[in-house]
Amino acid sequence: MAAAPVWSVDPRTGKQREQVAVEATAQEVDAAVRAADEARGALADRAVRSAFLRTAADELQAAKDGLVETADAESALGPVRLTGELARTCYQLRAFADIVDEGAFLDVVINHPDDTATPPIPDLRRYKVPLGVVAVYSASNFPFAFSVAGGDTASALAAGCPVVVKAHPDHPALSEYVAVVLRRAAARHGIPEGVVGLVHGFEAGVELIQHPLVAAAGFTGSVRGGRALFDAAAARPVPIPFHGELGSLNPVVVTEAAAAERAEAIGAGLAGSMTLGVGQFCVKPGLVLAPAGAAGDALLKSLTDAVSDTDAGVLLDHRMRDNFVAGVAERARLADVESPVTPGSGGDHTVSAGFLTVPASRLAAEGEHDLLLEECFGPVTVVARYEDDAEVKAVLSRLPGNLTATVQLSEEEAAGEGRGSEILAELTPLAGRVLVNGWPTGVAVAPAQHHGGPYPATTSMSTSVGGTAIERWLRPVAYQNAPSALLPAELRDDNPLGLPRRFDGRLER
């Protein structure tokens, strides 16, 4: 593998800013993985790793000004958005520290022998242990929250797994900066700096997924890139879990009653959601089923007014800009597709928000309009106008898996009248998060959160946001008839660590 320079690029101009690093060679990837593997023992103590996570959050917060400046130079996302994203990232680290301290994630279950059971039960003690080194593939659109110190890294470290991060090429300087901060936090607790490795380059990402000491991987990105890595993880001599977030259309259904009741509010809310962050959120609503007729017309007028007032914006890189401009043009050329507000180029380096409309009947059967059922990354959505409930069902039946699905209901429908519950039942198989009278952009970091969904939204049934994201990096192990003196402290009867557990069928907290 030839070493090539890694440049920081200004997305506002497309010009190289500075050389940050060089692409990692196979030998350098191997060294990073081995250093991470050697750091596993330092994460064994839960108190040490929870303290490390809190210190990491403190150090990131202390470096806020420099981090946000570096992130904005490489992403053009703006200081306000990036400051909020960094705060979310720090909160997430501290939340996982709390989870580590609580200990419920270990899922301790103890059964004492019972000769009266059929068949007899021996002494069994079960809990979860960390998998090993985790490969993390950074996302372009969240340079903090889904990157070097993001949810995959935070949850892996919380589980006791060191990480090697493959930096995203859109923010290499920031990746280096964040890695330095995390390593500094690790050193304060006697943890080797290799606990957080960082590599650059496409080939390095391939080498990483194939390394025999890598035990699992987390990915956020495109369907094409994620599927290639997923296949590589499965093709290894010893396959490993690959938790990938690949793509999502995030459909929205607006009932006729809802449109008649609050068309203006729905149109404005949709505009705000689809253009948030220049449409670069993985949960952007990309397909909206709205009624034909007067109520739907009023909704479209509100959407048109709001989107028309949206300023042109900068996408994360020029490749994404080119793909967006070409993608919306290809979609707009399809039969019966109209552009009330035309999306596309807003200038040499910017894009303009817009939306397309199409009769829902065009999407109800296989054909060239299937392109409209594919995610288009950027500030655009497709509004499919339906004539009746049968068309809504027909379109929903053709959709792939999604991160989210949303329904806008009237007040009466939300109270149980009409088709509200039926639509909810139709949306549930399609997505990991189902929203009622809201918008999918904005993913709360909360214990009950689920950020995942049926393929291709994700390649597993797990979440990458929220406390249960830690489960991706653990595996259960049971000890049978092990002498007490040989048992891990977590599985001893006297519970020296004070862990929540299920003890002979009783839940102890």
pLDDT band at 417 (very low <50, low <70, confident <90, very high): confident
pLDDT, residue 348, reads 87
CB 394 within 8 A of CB 449: no
CB 168 within 8 A of CB 140: yes
pLDDT tens across 440-452, in order?
999 999 999 999 9
In this predicted structure, the answer to whether residue 495 has a pLDDT above a threshold of 60 is: yes
Q: What is the mean pLDDT of the chain?
A: 96
pLDDT band at 10 (very low <50, low <70, confident <90, very high): very high
| Sequential DSSP letters for 397-413 | TT---EEEEEEE--HHH
Active site residues: 245, 282
CB 355 within 8 A of CB 383: yes
Percent of the chain with pLDDT over 70: 100
| Sequential DSSP letters for 297-351 | HHHHHHHHHHHHTPPPB--SSHHHHHHHHHHHHHHHTSTT-EEEE--EE-SSS-E
Geometric angle at alpha carbon 450, from 395 and 400, rounded to 5°? 25
Phi, psi of 385 (to 5 degrees): -90, 120
Query: Is cis: bond before 241, omega within 30 of 0?
Result: no
Phi, psi of 393 (to 5 degrees): -60, -40
pLDDT, residue 217, reads 98
pLDDT, residue 3, reads 76
Give the pair of three-digit tokens for residue 205. Answer: 């990402």
CA 63 to chain centre: 24
Query: Which residue from 292, 422, 413, 281 is spatially nearest to 357, judged by alpha carbons?
Result: 292
State whether the Cα torsion 63-68-70-71 is positive or negative.
positive
Percent of the chain with pLDDT over 90: 97
For residue 171, what are the contacts with CB-CB under 8 A and spacing of at least 6? 8, 71, 74, 75, 138, 140, 143, 147
pLDDT tens across 311-355, in order?
999 999 999 999 999 999 999 999 999 999 999 999 889 999 999
Direct distance between the N- and C-terminal alpha carbons of the chain, in angstroms, rounded to an integer: 53
In this predicted structure, the answer to whether residue 381 has a pLDDT above a threshold of 60 is: yes
> Cα torsion at 15, 21, 22, 23 (round to 10°)?
-90
pLDDT tens across 389-404, in order?
999 999 999 999 999 9
pLDDT band at 2 (very low <50, low <70, confident <90, very high): low
CB 142 within 8 A of CB 176: no
In this predicted structure, the answer to whether residue 1 has a pLDDT above a threshold of 70 is: no
Find the mean pLDDT for residues 138-148: 97
In this predicted structure, the answer to whether residue 370 has a pLDDT above a threshold of 80 is: yes
CB 151 within 8 A of CB 452: no
pLDDT tens across 74-112, in order?
999 999 999 999 999 999 999 999 999 999 999 999 999
> What is the Cα–Cα distance from 402 to 381, expressed in whole angstroms?
15
Helix (H, G, I), strand (E, B) or coil at 377: coil
Give the pair of three-digit tokens for residue 96. Answer: 């996982």
| Sequential DSSP letters for 259-278 | HHHHHHHHHHHHHHHHHGGG
Find the mean pLDDT for residues 61-75: 98
Give the pair of three-digit tokens for residue 298. Answer: 């009023």
DSSP state letter for 24: P
The amino acid that residue 70 corresponds to is T
CB 251 within 8 A of CB 287: yes
Find the mean pLDDT for residues 131-148: 97
Query: Which residue from 24, 56, 33, 28 is spatially nearest to 191, judged by alpha carbons?
Result: 56
Q: What is the 3-state secondary structure (H, E, C) of 456-475?
A: CCECCCCCCCCHHHHHHHEE
The secondary element (H helix, E strand) that includes residue 156 is: helix 151-159
Q: Which residue has the tokens 């406390």?
A: 467
Find the mean pLDDT for residues 229-239: 98
Q: Encode burial over 427-461: b for 16+ CB neighbours within 10 A, e otherwise.
A: beebbbbbbebebbbebebeeebbbbbbbbbbbbe
For residue 238, what are the contacts with CB-CB under 8 A and spacing of at least 6? 212
In this predicted structure, the answer to whether residue 494 has a pLDDT above a threshold of 70 is: yes
Helix (H, G, I), strand (E, B) or coil at 390: helix
Query: Which residue from 20, 12, 318 is spatially nearest to 175, judged by alpha carbons?
Result: 20
pLDDT tens across 287-308, in order?
999 999 999 999 999 999 999 9
Look up the pTM and report it: 0.96
Q: What is the 3-state secondary structure (H, E, C) of 56-96?
A: HHHHHHHCHHHHHHHHHHHHCCCHHHHHHHHHHHHHHHHHH
**Per-residue CA distances from 403 to 7, 234, 278 (Å):** 33, 23, 19
